[in-house]
């Protein structure tokens, strides 16, 4: 074959090759331009769906399992097509005094969400003289409830009433655990009017607490101004929280109490708030198995306690 013809054929092949490469690049580029909006829209859809589920899960957990803890604000941060974070700013209302509580930073993405469970579980401090649970960020003490069916606790069943009633010019929250379950009517007759009942302890898992806190959750609700309505909402929230029916503690409680009138439902304990000296009337009362002080705040002239 003539050398000039060979060169012409090679040149034609190179030209055809570069043409194919150019067309392929253009096709891929156009495809990416078309796919990006779809990918962006799809990503936003799944991220927003997970974000909504996380918001709902955080509020639901707060409603049924966080004694006297309120969510002051809950906002989305670091949001993107792929996910982000939800920050829950929390506090406690101690008889009209707001006390800072740990801030939760939970995350979500296309697949689902992850609640900041590490901050939900209290820390545990122990030395030769005493032990107690505390909020990991604020270092405020966490009040402990004692289940009547758990006989042995690591540091025994504490009763802080005599100690806190001697404190002057303070407000406090105290988790009062009963010697046995009582109805709300029984409880209201036993608790003085100068203390606030801010949370009802309804149930919790029964486990081994003899070696230290097991970190098991507790369930209850704020009775607010309408305990019957609050209890009805609590039952709905328990069902939503355990939709799969796998939580043995919740299912047992629902089986026993779901169809009962609230007047007949038994309560294991209450979270009380008030001025410290007002707790004195509860000292040495036989219906109290244990009383654990939680957060406290010093009274100041410019904030008046509720009671």
- Predicted pLDDT of residue 35: 47
Instruction: Fill in the DSSP letter of residue 282.
Output: G
What length does the chain have?
Answer: 307
CA 112 – CA 236 distance, rounded (Å): 23
Element (H, E) at 28: helix 3-65
Phi then psi for 251, rounded to 5 degrees?
Answer: -65, -35
Single pTM value for the model: 0.85
Per-residue pLDDT at 88: 96
Give the whole-angstrom CA distance, residue 307 versus residue 304: 8
pLDDT at position 211 is 80
- Calculate the CA 81 to chain-centre distance: 26
The DSSP bridge partners found for residue 133 are 124, 142
Q: Please tell me the predicted confidence (pLDDT) of residue 27.
A: 47
Mean pLDDT of each 10-residue bin along the chain, 307 residues long: 52 55 53 50 68 94 97 88 90 97 93 88 87 94 94 90 94 97 96 97 91 84 93 96 94 94 96 97 96 97 95
């Amino acid at each position: 074959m003539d050398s000039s013809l060979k060169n012409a054929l090679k040149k034609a092949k190179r030209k055809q090759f570069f043409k194919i490469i150019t067309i392929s690049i253009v096709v891929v580029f156009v495809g990416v331009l078309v796919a990006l909006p779809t990918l962006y829209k799809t990503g936003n859809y799944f991220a927003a769906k997970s974000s909504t589920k996380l918001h709902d899960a955080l509020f639901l957990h707060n409603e049924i399992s966080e004694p006297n803890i309120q969510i002051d604000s809950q906002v989305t941060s670091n949001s993107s097509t792929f996910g982000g974070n939800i920050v829950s700013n929390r506090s406690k209302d101690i008889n009209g005094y707001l006390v800072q509580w740990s801030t939760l930073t939970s995350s979500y993405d296309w697949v689902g969400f992850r609640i900041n469970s590490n901050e939900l579980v209290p820390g545990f401090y122990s030395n030769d003289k005493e032990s107690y649970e505390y909020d990991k960020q604020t270092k405020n003490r966490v009040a402990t409830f004692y289940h009547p069916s758990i006989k042995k606790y690591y540091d025994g069943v504490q009763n802080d009433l005599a100690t806190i009633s001697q404190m002057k010019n303070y407000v406090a929250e105290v988790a009062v655990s009963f010697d046995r379950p009582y109805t709300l009517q029984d409880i209201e007759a036993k608790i003085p009017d100068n203390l606030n009942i801010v949370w009802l302890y309804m149930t919790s898992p029964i486990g081994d607490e003899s070696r230290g806190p097991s970190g098991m959750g507790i369930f209850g609700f704020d009775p607010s101004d309408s305990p019957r309505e609050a209890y009805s909402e609590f039952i709905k929230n328990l069902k939503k929280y355990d939709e799969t029916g796998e939580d043995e503690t919740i299912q047992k409680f629902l089986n026993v109490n779901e169809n009962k009138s609230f007047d007949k439902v038994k309560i294991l304990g209450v979270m009380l708030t008030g001025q410290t000296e007002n707790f004195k009337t509860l000292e040495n009362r036989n219906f109290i198995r244990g009383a654990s002080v939680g957060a406290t705040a010093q009274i100041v002239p410019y904030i008046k306690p509720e009671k």
